[in-house]
Amino acid sequence: MPPTLQALLLFVHLVGVVVWVGGMVFAHFVLRPTAVERLPAPVRLPFMAAALGRFFRLVAVAVGAILATGLALLLRVGFAQAPLAWHLMFASGLVMAAVFTWIYAVQHPRLRQAVAAADGPAAAATLDRIRRLVVFNLGLGLLTIAVSVSIRAG
């Protein structure tokens, strides 16, 4: 693979990671607490459903880019020759993608339905499930970044 193509793949891969992991940090540590602090539940729940909908559409693109570029970079050297850390990163990416798919395809539609039905308790419970899944993915994403940095530093 030409060096410029490899650099492009790595760039797209890293931009996807920044969007996804950085977005989770922002959503969990900035957006959510501010919404809880400033907005009453009847306003907060529709706001969060709409904001997460926009974020999840971006993440869907980022996940596709991360998986495609990660696989391309892995295939460049071959599975058998790739370092163990690359396999760990790819496996954690697949787990994270599966969790995101569950959030995006199942939990977020449930949140939107509960908000549309003005069912505050159901919307709040679903939003909390989404929050817990995002925290899981955020932890796994940070661990994956740590693995990436450790192989580059070593």
SS3 helix, strand, coil % of the chain, rounded to 5? 90, 0, 10
pLDDT for residue 141: 98
What is the C-alpha to C-alpha distance for residues 83 and 96, in angstroms, rounded to an integer? 20
List all residues 6 or more positions away from 7 whose beta carbon is below 8 Å from its beta carbon. none
pLDDT for residue 151: 79
The tally of CA atoms less than 13 A away on the side-chain side of residue 92 is 20
pTM of this prediction exceeds 0.85:
yes
- AA letter at 22: G
For 49-86, the pLDDT digits (tens) are 999 999 999 999 999 999 999 999 999 989 999 998 99
- Domain range holding 80? 3-153
pLDDT for residue 2: 73
Please give the tally of structural domains in the chain: 1
**Which is nearest to 148 in space by CA: 59, 88, 69?**
88
Is residue 140 classed exposed, middle or buried when 0-12, 13-18 and 19+ CB atoms within 10 A define those classes? Answer: middle
Q: Which residues of the chain have pLDDT under 50?
A: none
Q: Position of tokens 């990416």?
A: 93
Cα torsion 20, 51, 34, 145 to 10°: value is 0
pLDDT for residue 1: 60
